[in-house]
Structure 1
């Protein structure tokens, strides 16, 4: 089987990977498309040094076999975290933080940068018939953006800023815009900011202490320090970036200014699928590559790059 394997220090294209065999409760998926996430790039930089296996966690595929007949032959997307169901976090309604979880393409579980993969059946979601694969591939990152709305109450009579002008920023900004809030997107690239103009104000220079909410979506270690300058006293920072690195901060700013900092990652899939099906979210097309050209996919400046698996 063809796949992109992380060996602990580097990603390597292989054609000798064994066909995955489902464990009890798992389904076998034939991958149609898989997409590169910034987290995948961070894994190559050492974000998950103990991981060995097939990379990738954003996918659309077809169910080949499943213990649940509802899924047989269906197009599906899937969540990342397979929880144990017994630890303190599972017992208290926080399964995505399960102490023993397996995470697709990141921790103890092969991911979707391969022709086939297995996944816990409870993590699958059926793709609506009218939603094409090339849009359904955005379900996981859109769900992550929607997690913000499950974590904090966004008061639409206040204002917000999204810091960043890349993929995560575009998804996060569109989700926040659905609340009707006064929204500003702060980026570095005027050509990228054009994508945000239909639903937000855009600028390359934000206003210091100008925003009640700041969603940090830069994917850079400079993002959080900048967000702390942009947010108002007693305001809220939503930290969406995942990167392998350390940040030096004057944490007295957080205490003295009484800031709330909320880490935010995985989110609800069904609402994300509905928004995509109803065309409430507008995204550029994914740029697709053959798996053996993974270096080009990882280096692509496109809004989203990924892999197409053909017979």
Structure 2
């Protein structure tokens, strides 16, 4: 099969073996996959990953390892990306997201989805509702990550929120926070970067125009150290700073404000897939307006170059023969 593989350098190959299935796994044929900021950082060396990249997908189950899972055959699915050991205390108490021995699809110890076929435990799969087309379903994983922020701050006395970074994830975070009733402002470095947030009926502003200590809560979805510094600058004393960015490199950061003004920092990662699918089925988020290009896997290197350009949001990958729309 064909796949995009990372071994220090990103490569397209068409001689990769279709994966064998372990107990409890399903074989999934790719329908659509999305390139996200984490994929771009992995290519730069983040996390030291080698293998097939990709973790945002919608696909069709074509085989299962166990007869008891035969009812999954031919289902259109998305899947959560963390695969825990299922025996440690963290897995038993909290689930696989923070298992110290976990594998993460296309990120840590598990080949990802930028391939004709890939495998994932059936326990990780979610059936896509018929009302959700492929080009919306492919946003399930980042939308779930956005919804995680809503859950994490729900009990805090927060009204005004700034989202730093109007890119792929930042836009989704801002919209779900707005739908949850918060007053949200999306902050970017240029007017052009704020055009789509305005189209989504979100308040916007230039980060350089914002005074120090302005917001109760700031979400950093900028994907860079400079964005974190700006987010820290504009959060109020005793405010909350939610970190969503992962990036390669070791940045020098001045954290004195965190101590002096008792800033509450929350790390935020993966979220609820079922809730994300339900929200997509309600058609309240125009996610397809985020798509800036769609490439076949064989053109994957060009797709990555496009995705890395400033201002580009979602670039999709598809197998050589695109699937018929599934409704």
Structure 1 match to 2:297? 291
Displacement after TM superposition at 1:48 (Å): 2.2
Structure 1 match to 2:213? 209
Work out whether residues 215 and 235 of structure 2, in 8 Å CA contact, stay in contact via their aligned partners in 1.
yes
**Structure 1 position 140 matched with structure 2 position 141:** yes
SS at match of 2:278: helix
Work out whether residues 165 and 189 of structure 1, in 8 Å CA contact, stay in contact via their aligned partners in 2.
no
Displacement after TM superposition at 1:249 (Å): 2.1
Distance 1:235 1:94, change over 3 A: farther
How far apart, in 1, do the equivalents of 2:105 and 2:2 lie?
17
How far apart, in 2, do the equivalents of 1:193 and 1:156 lie?
27
Structure 1 match to 2:196? 195
Work out whether residues 167 and 304 of structure 1, in 8 Å CA contact, stay in contact via their aligned partners in 2.
yes
Q: Deviations over 1:225-280 (max 9, x none)?
A: 11110000000001011111222222221011010111111111011011111011
How far apart, in 2, do the equivalents of 1:277 and 1:140 lie?
14
Structure 1 match to 2:19? 20
Work out whether residues 144 and 268 of structure 1, in 8 Å CA contact, stay in contact via their aligned partners in 2.
yes
Distance 1:281 1:41, change over 3 A: same
How far apart, in 1, do the equivalents of 2:156 and 2:98 lie?
27
Structure 2, unpaired ranges of 5+: 322-327
How far apart, in 2, do the equivalents of 1:184 and 1:46 lie?
32
Work out whether residues 84 and 95 of structure 2, in 8 Å CA contact, stay in contact via their aligned partners in 1.
no
Structure 2 match to 1:260? 264
Work out whether residues 156 and 179 of structure 1, in 8 Å CA contact, stay in contact via their aligned partners in 2.
no
Structure 2 match to 1:10? 9
Report the structure, 1 or 2, having the larger helix content. 2
Structure 2 match to 1:159? 160
Structure 2 match to 1:308? 318
Aligned residue pair count: 309
Displacement after TM superposition at 1:155 (Å): 5.7
How far apart, in 1, do the equivalents of 2:245 and 2:316 lie?
20
Cα RMSD between the aligned structures? 1.5
Distance 1:155 1:107, change over 3 A: closer
- Out of 227, 252, 255, the residue aligned to residue 251 of structure 1 is 255
Work out whether residues 155 and 181 of structure 1, in 8 Å CA contact, stay in contact via their aligned partners in 2.
no
SS at match of 1:122: helix
Displacement after TM superposition at 1:100 (Å): 1.2
Normalising by structure 2, what TM-score?
0.91
Displacement after TM superposition at 1:59 (Å): 0.7
How far apart, in 2, do the equivalents of 1:156 and 1:64 lie?
47
Structure 2 match to 1:59? 57
Structure 1 match to 2:222? 218
How far apart, in 2, do the equivalents of 1:233 and 1:247 lie?
23
Dislocated runs of 4+, deviation >3 Å? 154-157
How far apart, in 2, do the equivalents of 1:295 and 1:161 lie?
34
Distance 1:245 1:135, change over 3 A: same
